[in-house]
A and B are shown apart, each in its own frame.
Chain A
């Protein structure tokens, strides 16, 4: 495959807490290749969100190096768009304005108003939210808000899309619908995605690789499962696919036999 978009080399993260230094992550080495979907999975407190924040540039590592497109990640940037767990739409702006805020930032210098507007509308249409362009976030449901959050990230045409438990706050049915939606959008755009999840089915269904993390403190990458299911993936067909069951079993095996949390 072609050269990686993101390189993570020997990254460690320690936090200063009241009870001294706390090592959250150690010795993380991972390459993320173009057009691949990687999920980070592990028990809560294993530092998967910490790792995602490092790639986003929201926090900087205590040791090691993170590169995006061969440049060191020194802070957040629109080329590494983030979909936050609780959608994080600005409540005083309509869906359109929320998406526009990012689009303007990325394309505002080069393109005129009509072109920017078309970009926003296309992004919202992609997640089937064209009916709610001028609605405020409090006027739409939780699932719809997360769709808009995804549209905002995709509209910026990032090099890599980072998702922090994007569907964690949604109910099971909404989550399934959004996973299918996301699969479709990823197929259409060929996006590179890193996603934090705690849902094994979600990880197998969406990813090309599942990065499984050991328990914290001082968590690191335990094993990596390559999911070689052809795309597009169909939820119902896969439910009867023995390979799907095998991948699922492999992840469960890791999480519940090798990394079982004592008295969680």
Chain B
């Protein structure tokens, strides 16, 4: 489930101590001689092209098919029409004409805000819960059936419960985000805690570390990569769910905006929204991957 596997035993390095006293002896072959051929300018350019060309082809193919479909169907706006609409739309992304007519920037921001709040609460509850489940077998066995039962349920099924409890659309949408974010967070944190190598815990016992230090110096750093995986999965799902939730609740938000533009029959705006949702999701994912890399002690 988690992408991070702990590698415990390093391969033994050969004949290392011999070099301890003679560490200053210069290496016989200068390293630059080995990499020199690859740094010639022509070679370098070819390397860059090899990386850049395939994605460009991919994008071109997509736009081509889109244009073709647009011409054939007549209803779907083509790339040119969408581009023109996008230019107009992004010329003023932060206007406000009353609660139901706001710029796309505001819509994206309010969706992100809901995701942030819902996710924040999920982290607040889910991470400590994950620690408990990972640390105590009793808790794990106690909650396992509940989690197994509730996890496959679409978070949107919880929306009416949210509406009933909060009596308002906005917190209900946040509530669905909370529900969908909490499962990956609990499960990944619990798994991380269970996978803390026994050796590290033995070290803690032999050193006689107090429980606070065991948590801050051993458990937390060991579990952090797992937690970040959980966070990444949670945010990914939350961003998927928010669009649907907002379509149902209305208000301000990218999901509501898509629905609103459908009612206005501005299909090119829907296409733009699809791109915007995709790009925001991609940015969130990339940011969290970078964060995970920063805290992954094996790849540092």
Contacts and interface: CB of A to CB of B under 8 A. Distances in A.
Interface of A: 56, 58, 75-78, 80-82, 84, 86, 88, 90-93, 101-102, 105-106, 128, 131, 136, 138, 141-145, 156, 169-171, 173-174, 177-178, 181
B91 interface: no
A84 B207 CA distance: 13
B203 A105 contact: no
Given A78-B206, A156-B207, 17 more contacts: A76-B208, A78-B207, A78-B208, A84-B202, A88-B202, A92-B221, A92-B297, A105-B208, A105-B209, A136-B297, A138-B298, A138-B300, A142-B12, A144-B16, A170-B12, A171-B15, A178-B17
Nearest to B203: A88
A158 to B, nearest CB: 9
Nearest to A170: B12
B206 A86 contact: no
Interface string B194-223: 000001101101111100000001100110
B11 interface: yes
Contacts, number: 94
Contacts of B205: 58, 75-76
A93 B213 CA distance: 14
B12 A171 contact: yes
B18 A173 contact: yes
A77 B205 CA distance: 7
A19 B208 CA distance: 34
Interface of B: 8-18, 20, 23, 199-200, 202-203, 205-209, 217-218, 221-222, 297-298, 300
Contacts of A84: 199, 202-203
B24 to A, nearest CB: 11
10 contacts: A58-B202, A75-B205, A78-B207, A86-B9, A88-B199, A92-B222, A93-B217, A101-B209, A138-B298, A169-B12
Contacts of B200: 88, 90
Contacts of A106: 208
Contact of B13 (A88, A143, A156): A143
Nearest to A137: B10
A258 B300 CA distance: 51
A88 B198 CA distance: 10
Given A88-B202, A142-B11, A171-B12, A77 B17 contact: no
B20 A86 contact: no
Given A77-B208, A80-B206, A170-B12, A90 B221 contact: yes
Nearest to A172: B15
Contact of B207 (A91, A102, A143): A102
Contacts of B300: 136, 138
Given A76-B206, A102-B207, A91 B298 contact: yes
Contacts of A91: 297-298
Given A84-B202, A90-B217, A173 B14 contact: yes
Nearest to A136: B300
Given A88-B200, A90-B217, A58 B17 contact: no
Nearest to A77: B208
A178 B11 CA distance: 17
B239 to A, nearest CB: 30
B206 A81 contact: yes
